[in-house]
Chain A
Amino acid sequence: MLVAGALSEPNADAFPSTYRPFPSRTTVLRNVNIFTGAGPLIRNGSVLLQDGKIAAIGQSVTAPADAVVIDGQGRYVTPGLIDTHSHLGVYPAPGTAAHNDGNEATNPVTAYVWAEHSVWPQDPQFPRVLAGGTTTIQVLPGSANLIGGRGVTLKVVPARSVQEMKFPGAPHGLKMACGENPKRVYASRGPSTRMANVAGYRTAWINAEQYRRRWDRWLEKREGDPPARDLNLETLAEVLRGNILVHNHCYQADEMLVMIDIAREFGYRIRSFHHGVETYKIADVLARDSISASIWSDWGGFKMEALDGIKANVGLTHAAGARTVVHSDDPSYSQRLNQEAAKSLAAGRRAGLTLTEEDAISWITINPAWALGIHEVTGSLEVGKSADLVLWSGHPLSVYSRAERVWIDGALMYDRNDPRQQWRTDFELGYVPTAGGNR
């Protein structure tokens, strides 16, 4: 309800999603093997997409006469893939100083910035990620800061504004970062050590707790002058109220355990540790505390805090019972989450773990959906959930397979065999050559 001169209240949805699903037709995919993200593979099954939702799924489904029928000829279907860690739009391609909008590296605590305000919807990386079968991404601020700001969950769709991409109802994320990056960036003014990193988080939460109490008291009675708004503390208070999910960049096991203690001290929860190359060392704790691990299949060794990265990390973390996510932090990797999950599956099995293909699919579908707080509407193919799905040219865990068609909310958003169904951003026009060689 907008009123002229209305009081600006905290936590109002200042930049609401204006996303509308693209036009869709009732579609049935038959003769497909379906990784549902919610149970065992359905062999030679069918799925019906209607009004943007999964209307039916199973061995066979009844479809209306006017439905578009796609014979999958034994190919595979998965939910649309989900990436919990992206910088698309905030670090667009081509890389230029003008678009270098991912790190507000001017203050170690910048909870007041929102990644969505840096997102350039014409980033040509968006259509490429969509063509890789990735339908939902969380765009985060970078890791220069102890507390970097709010992340935003986006549908990977063409849009004129970031609001048109915002995943309706998805909670904001809060980006926090441990270890080397903040202390490197602020070496001259502090924090310059890990101990000062920790002091920095705690100081921020102490202020946030006080702010939350002051505002919650006022909101209850709404009498007298409201307290002064503070964008920084407003975001942090929302974390304390449980309305924003914490995504914590943290490589080392020992530091993750410190962050868990800080969360306990201030009464918030960590939703996901990102880049935790050592989650395998503390996966039992993550399982106990319901903290997901957003991790790479095979990155490590590129700095001291990444030294102990092992290829079995995903498998070991999963096997210990922690909710495990294969994430990217990379525009190229984000196009091949299926390949990365496949690598992790193989490495886990090589380490002697019992892991299924369904487990591997969960790392890039329902588990990241949970990490982003959207698991009730997407991330698996179940009746009533969003029709976000991918038809693959072959088994999705094979290096030779590619996404052939991608649907978001039942609308066909990408078709590898139809250039008219391939989104080109404004930027690409006249700059990026097409397959024919013309720019």
Chain B
Amino acid sequence: MRRSTMWRLAALALLGSASAAAQTIAITGGTVYPVSGPKIENGTVLIRDGRIVAVGANVDVPADAQRVDARGKWVTPGFINSATTLGLSEAGSPQFSGGYNDASARAADGISAAFEAWKGLNPANTLFGPARAEGVTTVLVAPNGGMVAGKAALIDLVEARTANEMLRRGPTAMVGNFGSPGSGNTNARAEFWAKWRTLIREVRDYGDRRAAYETGSTKDFMASQADMEALLPVAAGQLPLVVGVERASDILEALAFAREMGIKLWIAGAAEGWMVAREIAAANVPVFTGAMNNIPGDFSALGQRQENAALLRAAGVTVVLIGNGPGDTQTFNVRNIRQEAGNAVAYGMSWEDALRAITLVPAEVMGVADRVGAIATGRDANVVVWSGDPFEFASNAEHVYVRGREILTKSRQDLLTERYRTLPAAPYRP
């Protein structure tokens, strides 16, 4: 009885929030970091119908606006974490814990290009809450595993009932692997790379001779029809291919592959990227990497350094900061993207570049800069009010707005904290 009442109330609350008339919110008096422009002291951010309608030092605040006093506060765009499996797993790995793992398809030959992992995400996943609570408002949800893992999508962390309501843009990229031959059921790099070239050529061949394929008069292709369909925009140089690759020589090989095959490439990881930074910059290939790893954890990543992100940036590479520190940076600690940015600064990146690398840069790379990643007129209102420097541990995200709506729901962790603040706990209270 008690439980069913609770569920009904929760459902009502959700319906209410989804249909509530959007209001006007004025965040006033704060130091605003629009990212798309210089910082504004004593600035106002005006939000209406989920959009940013005005930003500046001299903004008229309508009388009916809900005012948020941000004096002494820092106002930034919501952060973008561009390497997550948020919503795709619960309680870790299924064989250990009975949770679920929807980030990985069972791919024949390591190729599952048609896999759109985000479609199976659970909007009620408990890990969205902690991410939002620390100012993350948009994440890339990516599949993993194999030679071609599938398509990644960008979602906003709105409180929603379906993945579709959260979707910002999908697909944004095809996720693949270039540096680990094992991912493609091969042993050797040269064999793996040959397989990549064959795959792209076959996809083009398939695209050119679809009718023949349908009548069974082409040779057998290595990928399934659905996977080849999914790879057509990759082979055409339209949909970016993001590959995990670490070793300096592997990075150069990936750049050569992309150039030769006309692929639009992004690189993820790039442990030894700093050693070939000029070449990456010249190829205009963005790199997704972090600033909290210096462990030579693998013979392909012996040059892993915390300065990597800063050195790449200094060489003119477009750097998107992602988590590469310890502790579930793709799920439970998606929120630690701000620690990653702080460490990037500690290891040589400018504060402004670090902020860009988790806001406007990923938005630009993923083609959504007209919607998120900046506090500018016309953008969706993904905005955070911080008690201080957002990269510092002592600072709190005091107000988090996603598409103009403030996140007020307590996370499961909040509820546990409240329950056990004084011992013994009182389990009959919520």
Interface residue? B38 (CB, 8 A): no
**Contact partner, B332, options A299, A312, A345, A349, Cβ 8 Å:** A299
User: A304 CA to B391 CA in the complex, in Å?
Assistant: 30
**A-side contacts of B339, CB under 8 Å:** 339, 343, 399
Does A307 contact B91, Cβ atoms closer than 8 Å?
A: yes
CB distance from B131 to the nearest CB of A (A): 12
Interface residue? A5 (CB, 8 A): no
Interface residue? B302 (CB, 8 A): yes
Interface size class of A (residues with CB under 8 A): 35 or more
Interface residue? B97 (CB, 8 A): yes
Does B91 contact A304, Cβ atoms closer than 8 Å?
A: yes
* Contact status of A298 and B346, CB under 8 A, knowing A283-B423, A303-B93, A303-B96: no
Most chain A beta-carbon neighbours within 10 Å: one of B274, B332, B423: B423
**A-side contacts of B328, CB under 8 Å:** 299, 301-302
**Contact partner, A299, options B97, B295, B303, B327, Cβ 8 Å:** B327
**A-side contacts of B96, CB under 8 Å:** 180, 184, 303
Does A397 contact B394, Cβ atoms closer than 8 Å?
A: yes
Interface residue? A431 (CB, 8 A): yes
**A-side contacts of B392, CB under 8 Å:** 398-400
Does A281 contact B420, Cβ atoms closer than 8 Å?
A: yes
Interface residue? B325 (CB, 8 A): yes
Does A303 contact B413, Cβ atoms closer than 8 Å?
A: no
Does A310 contact B413, Cβ atoms closer than 8 Å?
A: yes
**A-side contacts of B295, CB under 8 Å:** 93, 124-125, 128, 331-332
**B-side contacts of A209, CB under 8 Å:** none
Does A432 contact B303, Cβ atoms closer than 8 Å?
A: yes
Interface residue? B18 (CB, 8 A): no
**A-side contacts of B342, CB under 8 Å:** 399-400
Smallest CB-CB separation from A319: which chain B residue?
A: B421
* Contact status of A304 and B326, CB under 8 A, knowing A402-B346, A432-B303: no
User: A124 CA to B295 CA in the complex, in Å?
Assistant: 8
**B-side contacts of A306, CB under 8 Å:** 92
* Contact status of A316 and B303, CB under 8 A, knowing A303-B91, A304-B97: no
CB distance from A51 to the nearest CB of B (A): 34
CB distance from B53 to the nearest CB of A (A): 31
Interface residue? A34 (CB, 8 A): no
Does B91 contact A342, Cβ atoms closer than 8 Å?
A: no
User: A398 CA to B391 CA in the complex, in Å?
Assistant: 9
Smallest CB-CB separation from A124: which chain B residue?
A: B296
User: A332 CA to B294 CA in the complex, in Å?
Assistant: 8
* Contact status of A303 and B292, CB under 8 A, knowing A333-B326, A352-B421, A397-B394: no
**B-side contacts of A282, CB under 8 Å:** 423
**B-side contacts of A307, CB under 8 Å:** 91
**B-side contacts of A437, CB under 8 Å:** 274-275
Smallest CB-CB separation from B332: which chain A residue?
A: A301
User: A284 CA to B272 CA in the complex, in Å?
Assistant: 48
CB distance from B423 to the nearest CB of A (A): 5
**A-side contacts of B307, CB under 8 Å:** 435
**A-side contacts of B126, CB under 8 Å:** 301
Interface residue? A433 (CB, 8 A): yes
Does B97 contact A94, Cβ atoms closer than 8 Å?
A: no
CB distance from A307 to the nearest CB of B (A): 6
Does B393 contact A342, Cβ atoms closer than 8 Å?
A: yes
**A-side contacts of B332, CB under 8 Å:** 298-302, 309
Most chain A beta-carbon neighbours within 10 Å: one of B295, B346, B393, B395: B393
User: A350 CA to B134 CA in the complex, in Å?
Assistant: 12
CB distance from A49 to the nearest CB of B (A): 26
Does A350 contact B396, Cβ atoms closer than 8 Å?
A: yes
Per-residue B-contact encoding for A145-181, CB less than 8 Å = 1, 0 else: 0000000000000000000000000000000000010
**B-side contacts of A439, CB under 8 Å:** 302
* Contact status of A303 and B393, CB under 8 A, knowing A283-B423, A311-B413: no
**B-side contacts of A283, CB under 8 Å:** 423
Does A316 contact B396, Cβ atoms closer than 8 Å?
A: no
User: A342 CA to B421 CA in the complex, in Å?
Assistant: 20
Does A296 contact B327, Cβ atoms closer than 8 Å?
A: yes
User: A43 CA to B297 CA in the complex, in Å?
Assistant: 40
Interface residue? A308 (CB, 8 A): yes
**Contact partner, B396, options A300, A301, A328, A346, Cβ 8 Å:** A346
User: A95 CA to B393 CA in the complex, in Å?
Assistant: 31
CB distance from A251 to the nearest CB of B (A): 12
**Contact partner, B296, options A298, A312, A432, Cβ 8 Å:** A432
Does B99 contact A94, Cβ atoms closer than 8 Å?
A: no
Interface residue? B430 (CB, 8 A): no
A interface residues (Cβ-Cβ under 8 A, vs B):
93-95, 124-125, 128, 180, 184, 280-284, 296, 298-304, 306-312, 316, 320, 328, 330-333, 335-336, 339, 342-343, 345-346, 349-352, 397-402, 428, 431-433, 435, 437, 439
A-B residue pairs in contact (CB < 8 Å), sample of 6: A124-B295, A298-B336, A302-B328, A303-B96, A303-B97, A309-B332
B interface residues (Cβ-Cβ under 8 A, vs A):
91-93, 96-99, 126-127, 130, 272, 274-275, 292-299, 301-303, 305, 307, 325-328, 331-333, 335-336, 339, 342-343, 345-346, 391-396, 413, 416-417, 420-421, 423-425
Beyond contacts A93-B296, A437-B274: 16 other A-B pairs, Cβ-Cβ < 8 A, are A95-B298, A125-B295, A128-B295, A298-B333, A301-B127, A302-B331, A302-B332, A303-B93, A303-B96, A310-B417, A316-B420, A320-B423, A331-B295, A332-B295, A342-B393, A343-B339
Closest 6 CB pairs of A and B: A399-B342, A342-B393, A301-B332, A302-B92, A330-B326, A333-B326
